């Protein structure tokens, strides 16, 4: 599992990301320092690349 988190999210604080990872046996937290709550729109290229890497897609 990967969790991609925008560090400028004011709705879901970054502490929540770290706390969420304690519930994952095999998880990877990826933080994007300049992204907010709308990470998929603000950092689309990077998010898509991370998902492709995780799924093994070209």
For 1-24, give the DSSP string: -EEEEETT-SSS-HHHHHHHHTT-
Looking at residue 58, what is its pLDDT?
Answer: 74
pLDDT in tens, 2-32: 999 999 999 999 999 999 999 999 999 999 9
User: What is the domain partition of the chain in residue ranges?
Assistant: 2-55
pLDDT, position 33: 97
What are the tokens at 51?
A: 């998902």
């Amino acid at each position: 599992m990967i969790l991609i988190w925008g560090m400028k999210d004011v709705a879901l604080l970054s502490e929540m990301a770290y706390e969420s990872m304690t519930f994952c046996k095999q998880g990877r937290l990826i933080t994007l320092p300049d992204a907010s709550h709308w990470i998929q729109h603000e950092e689309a290229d990077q998010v898509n690349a991370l998902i492709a890497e995780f799924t093994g897609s070209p």
